[in-house]
Chains A and B, each alone.
Chain A
Amino acid sequence: MQKLITNILLLILSVYLIYWAHSHLDNYTLSILNNIGIFAILALSYNLINGVTGQFSLEPNGFVAIGAYTAALFLIPSETKMDMFALVDPAPVVMQMHAGFLPALLIAGVTASVIALLLSFPVFRVRGDYLAIVTLGFGFIIRIFAMNKPAYTNGAMGLNDIPGNANFLWIGLIAVITFVTMLHIISSRFGRAMKAVRDDEDAAIAMGVNTFWIKTVAFMTSAFFEGVGGGLLASFLTTISPDQFTFLLTFQLLIIIVLGGLGSMSGTLLATILVMGGMEWLRFLDDDMEIFGYHTGAHPGMRMVVFAILLVIMMLFARKGLFGDKEISDTVRKRIGRRQQTAGGDA
């Protein structure tokens, strides 16, 4: 009961903070927060399949692209589509796609999820490294499709003038929803089955866990949130093109979840803040600096070098990521528990 009240209070507090940030902060700060929010949605959901279920899958760029394109096509008005598609006329189905913002996001998520379901049949026939290769291929296919089917995607130029409905209220709330959902899943029966699959798939099968089904559910859930995140990204940037959804996007998410700790949702959240914010906070390194009267000169790219070094140091000192596979609440509870014990001992 006490836990429930604490959780509800935390939820109300975070919603209030999001509202406060939305109405008080300047555009630049909000922009960083929005990037963090969007990537938190992507990384949290990616962690479900990669960290919690232990399937080394490299597909997120594909699902994010599907979500982004689906949402964008539903959001862009017909006249803009006719004007934008320069290479060929848009396909008839593209002209009929219209939806409000929230429906468009949901459709984007469901589309990614359905494709995940179809994909899971061939993909989960293999494990480990082979799984990585198969899912990597999927990401490539989606990008090549986006490049070469101009009637649906407007080819290499991509889409622009996407209505920019996504503000921090939406992005922040959906990020909180994603976080809560993920926490809920990993502490549920499904979550325990997913961890069983990760720790020893054969043992899980022996214990009667339908591992294919569990993996598919994790995959579909992950794809749903990646699709929604992709839709938010499209609306936030107002323009998308195939070159955004290369393997580098997956790689960025992989860095985030490994840094945060595979399987730890609060770790992922913290790592998203560090990775997405870090690039902006380290910007001063690119500029000319004066150290003891000596001018370093401007070195564009210096922030990336320092950032990489920081990553290496962090991984050296926290081999299993910042939080391992624990949540922040576990750590706090352990601390408090220990203090209570010592307090009890003194008495």
Chain B
Amino acid sequence: MKKIVSIAAAAALMSSMAFAKEVKIGVVLPLTGPIAAFGQTSKGGLDIAYAQNNKLKNGDTVKLVVLDDRGDKVEAATAVKRLLDKDKVTVILGEVASSNSMAMAPVAEKAKTPMITHASTNPRVTRGKKYVTRACFIDPFQGAVMAKYALDNGMKNAVVVTDAKQDYSVGLSKAFKKAYTGAGGKVAKTVLINSGDKDFNAQVATIKAANPDIIAFTGYYPEAALLVKQARAMGVKAPFIGADGVGFPELVKIGGKDAEGFMYTDHFNEAAASSAEAKAYVDAFHKKYNKPADSMGALAADAYGMILSAMNACIDAGKASDDKECINANLRGTKGYKGITGVITINENGDAVKSAVVNEVKDGKFAYKTTVNP
């Protein structure tokens, strides 16, 4: 009798222990320092997603361990080691800047711990890594989206503007040309600019002579604003399309009226939120912060959601919710995850294949135009 009681007690104890299990997700973000704005907006979205859902299917609770790295590489690498050795986290979420994620990735890879970055778009972050995934698309992917949008709208003759000093721009241009010419478009001319240039008269003359249907601009916003201004002044009428590097308020501030109609691809626009998940997120965001939902926060929320969905899939398969190998396999095998920024599928490199939104400058504001699927 005594034996049975003690066995029952032990069983009860064990089951209650199993019930109270806590799974930790380590988060590394630049909450202070030069890129703090990105880290803080990411944290804002993450907080919303966490408040909406922090329990797994089997009742396990999820805990976030958030560490600040000051946007510093040395500290980002140390922070990951702290999360692994001291906090014993199961999954790592972060960083924003690709160069910091690159300092973290080898550590996670060595510890065989799944890591997901929500906003590092440089292709090299996941290159050759088995345990690193991302919730955002890579830089060159936007080139393909730009090409698809142009062709879908009957613009078959393009001029590509490349910022020769930015690898972001060079990669984007390459991807645009490949997708554009591959699907029947014609690149009439490639025009080179350099970051920091102010005078684009020579380039604009070349563009005008080529008389394109569309100008694919792959650089950043300061040059975009000046170029569009000078092009319109010289009578170039073709529309501009860029990528997320131009989606900054300065484009409108410097470009003024001439920036009207400038299109660019981006990760997220709350006006494009059509799914129930996205709407719930946007509503909660408005309620808490009283401002439009930004893409950084939405991406962080998606990365968090993908981790939870991978953990739930492990529970369904009869594995523990903190089985790193299982979680990683499910993260890398993510298919058709209905996120806030769109439907996410992870390809064999660990990069997200998902829809992108096209925004347009309208009345001095960034307005949602359409969604382009890969």
Contact = CB atoms under 8 A, between A and B. Distances in A.
Chain A partners chain B? yes
A243 B128 CA distance: 25
Contacts, number: 89
Given A28-B86, A155-B167, A157-B99, 5 more contacts: A30-B81, A31-B82, A84-B124, A161-B128, A241-B73
A238 interface: yes
Contacts of A304: 32, 70
Given A86-B167, A237-B103, A301-B68, A27 B73 contact: no
Interface in B275-304: none
A304 B31 CA distance: 12
Nearest to A148: B165
A164 B74 CA distance: 14
Contact of A286 (B68, B81, B107, B127): B68
Interface of A: 26-32, 35, 83-84, 86-87, 148, 150, 154-158, 160-161, 164, 233, 237-241, 243-244, 279-280, 283, 286, 298, 300-301, 304
Contacts of A31: 77-78, 81-82
A26 B85 contact: yes
A300 B31 contact: yes
Given A26-B85, A27-B84, A148-B165, A86 B103 contact: no
B167 A87 contact: yes
A310 to B, nearest CB: 17
Contacts of B86: 28
B106 to A, nearest CB: 5
Contacts of A87: 164-167, 170
A150 B195 CA distance: 14
Interface in B38-89: 66-68, 70, 73-75, 77-78, 81-82, 84-86
B130 to A, nearest CB: 14
A17 to B, nearest CB: 20
Contacts of A279: 75
A305 to B, nearest CB: 10
Contact of B78 (A28, A86, A150): A28
B281 to A, nearest CB: 22
Contact of B106 (A30, A148, A238): A238
The 8 A-B pairs of least Cβ separation, nearest first, read A300-B31, A28-B85, A301-B32, A300-B68, A28-B81, A26-B85, A86-B167, A31-B81
Range class of the B interface residue count = 20 to 34
A83 B128 CA distance: 11
A237 B170 contact: no
A27 to B, nearest CB: 5
Interface in B132-174: 164-167, 170-171
B102 interface: yes
B82 A158 contact: no
Nearest to B83: A28
A84 B122 CA distance: 11
A289 B346 CA distance: 39
Contact of B165 (A83, A84, A155, A244): A155
B170 A28 contact: no
Contact of B31 (A28, A160, A301): A301
Nearest to A83: B127
A239 B99 contact: yes
A35 B78 contact: yes
A304 B32 CA distance: 10
Interface in B198-248: none
Q: Which of B111, B127, B167 has the most CB of A within 10 A?
A: B167
B106 A298 contact: no
Contacts of B167: 86-87, 150, 154-157
B124 A160 contact: yes
Contact of A156 (B74, B77, B78, B166): B166
Contacts of B67: 283, 286
A61 to B, nearest CB: 14
Nearest to A32: B78
Contacts of B127: 83, 161
A184 B165 CA distance: 47
Q: Which of A86, A241, A300 has the most CB of B within 10 A?
A: A300
Contact of B85 (A29, A150, A233, A237): A29
B241 to A, nearest CB: 22
A30 B78 CA distance: 9
Contacts of B78: 28, 31-32, 35, 280
Contacts of A158: 99
